[in-house]
A and B are shown apart, each in its own frame.
Chain A
Amino acid sequence: MSDANDPQDMEGQSEMTSEGVRGAYDPNEADIPTNIIDQTRPGEDPYQWHTGLRRPHGSTDAVEFIDVKKSFGRNTILNGLNLGIPDNQISMILGPSGTGKSVCIKHMVGLLYPDEGDVLVHGESVPNMADEDLFEMRKKFGVLFQDGALFGSMNLWDNVAFPLRQHTDKGEEEISDIVGGRLKEVGLAGATDKMPNELSGGMRKRAGFARALVLDPSIVLFDEPDSGLDPVRTALLCELIKEIHDENGGAYVVITHDIMSARRVADFISVLWKGRIVEQGPASELFDSPNQFVRQFLSGEAAGPLGME
């Protein structure tokens, strides 16, 4: 979420409160996405492919977006988004660059607030939460940021132990067991003393994954976990996500535009474009969708309604 050139990059647009950051704060609008290109041809309905079809997923929704609208200046990023994230499944939010995927996950954890509509986490409205409740609610989440977002002043071990030391009364021995276990799961047991700048991109992501898991979150968000990784490491990371989900359960939400990753791990897919869901449903059904836009995007073909313009 930190690429300055990425139109989804919303950093610096957070609002300061006594508790920290929420909403639009920075008067400097340098990061407001201005390079979003309207891909609609003249006279075309921009939402002609958005059937809004929500195929049943056989579970309750852990996170729900209800008619969410969000704009930054004159740029509308989310435009009436209705989205459900099923519990105990790996969901993927797929969509072309600049469609608001990262903005979505910032809404889930209350780093951004909708201009209109509501975001529910386990039935509770995030925008209407008091600061204390919001900080408490965030403990349900584990988030893997694009580059891991490890704290540069701490070594790998302390990074992973940090949430436990801050939020639990566990002794160092118990913390050590948990951290050691998580680091072993992600294959970093031998790198505990390394500082973040001594780790490769893939290692930082795995470390971020371990840190996201230490509090046993019920919802884990992955912001483009495949970005900057080669295909083999992407495949390995996907396998790891699947394995750990099988072991721990919970709602996992992966944001990506990599179709191979979607094929590997997704139980449920939502295709996002122009701030709205085109279609969503179980992965197996969506890959066979008759919707031309969905078919084009999920097959990665050049021919179809999604163009370069």
Chain B
Amino acid sequence: MGNTWTAVPREWIASFGEIVKFGITVTGEVLGGRVFKFFGEALRQSGILILGSALVIWGLAFILGLTCGLEGAYFNRSVGSPAYAGVFSAWCDLREVIPYAWGYMLSAKVGTGIVAEIGAARITDEVDALEVMGISSMTFLCATRLFAAILVFPFMYTAAIGAGFFASYLAVVQQIGEVSSGGFFLIFWMFQNPPDLLFSIIKAMSMAFAIVIVGLYYGYTASGGPVGVGTATAKSMVLNTVLVHLIGMLGTQVFWGQDPRAPIGG
């Protein structure tokens, strides 16, 4: 009775440990170069990521960039400094909104997709079929997907940031039109610099790495037939949502918590 209340958190910790162990193994497959035995499959997975997710993510980033631009423009107008609309756009797009949207989108589309694909392969004996053919299912199914993510995501994310910036520019300069193009960019670039982009990419790639590993883990260890795969998919979505927020918070604290990296107050 005394230990009952600790059973659930203990189970969470144990599961988290399993995921970390799994993540280290899969990452080792990629870094150790074994994944190159299935380079064709990794390229195919890259293609699937690009064709299946890029447009959706860029579209989402564009819409959020528009929102950031609009909100920024009206807020700055309300406090009598419409020329500073670019500050809001720069920070909103680069530091918070697009990284979080990226995390949500990857969790919902890529993470759950991976669980469903690999989980289905597990319950239909495809994983065992690979193993008995003398092919490492861990490398073929998991390492290739992680490698594809590593190949594709930095470019996809950078382009998403670009889409968000472009949309903010459209909203502030073309739609609201209270700031000239030059005035917008002067402030916009004053409040960010190349390390900020790098930090933003690190933040988003940390989210992406966690999401892919969690997806791979829940897919690879799925059991209990179709219901089990559905349950694993839901579990992965919950955990990924939590991880996105934790990584987002940590990223902001580490990269901008101490120093906002802004020319404010002299």
**Interfacial residues, chain A to chain B (CB-CB below 8 A):** 1-5, 11-13, 16-21, 25-28, 30-31, 106, 109, 111, 135-139, 141, 143, 145-147, 149-152, 162-163, 166-167, 215
Contact = CB atoms under 8 A, between A and B. Distances in A.
Contact of B131 (A13, A21, A136, A162): A21
Contacts of B129: 143, 145, 149, 151
Given A12-B222, A27-B14, A31-B224, A149 B134 contact: no
Nearest to A30: B224
Contact of B134 (A4, A13, A27, A167): A167
Interface stretch (B67-75, B79-87, B120-128, B189-197): B120-128
Nearest to B119: A12
A1 B128 contact: yes
Contacts of B36: none
Contacts of B14: 27
Interface stretch (B22-30, B91-99, B202-210): B22-30
B25 A16 contact: yes
Those 8 A-B pairs whose CB atoms lie nearest each other, nearest first: A12-B223, A4-B225, A149-B125, A149-B129, A20-B136, A138-B134, A145-B125, A30-B224
Interface string B204-233: 000000000000000011111101100000
B15 interface: yes
Contacts of A21: 127-128, 131, 137-138
A16 B127 CA distance: 12
B22 A16 contact: yes
Interface of B: 14-15, 18, 21-22, 25, 28-29, 120-139, 220-225, 227-228
B125 A1 contact: yes
B159 to A, nearest CB: 26
25 contacts: A2-B124, A4-B225, A4-B228, A11-B123, A11-B128, A12-B222, A12-B223, A13-B223, A16-B22, A18-B28, A18-B29, A20-B137, A20-B139, A31-B224, A111-B128, A111-B132, A138-B134, A141-B132, A143-B128, A151-B129, A162-B133, A166-B133, A166-B134, A166-B135, A215-B133
B131 A20 contact: yes
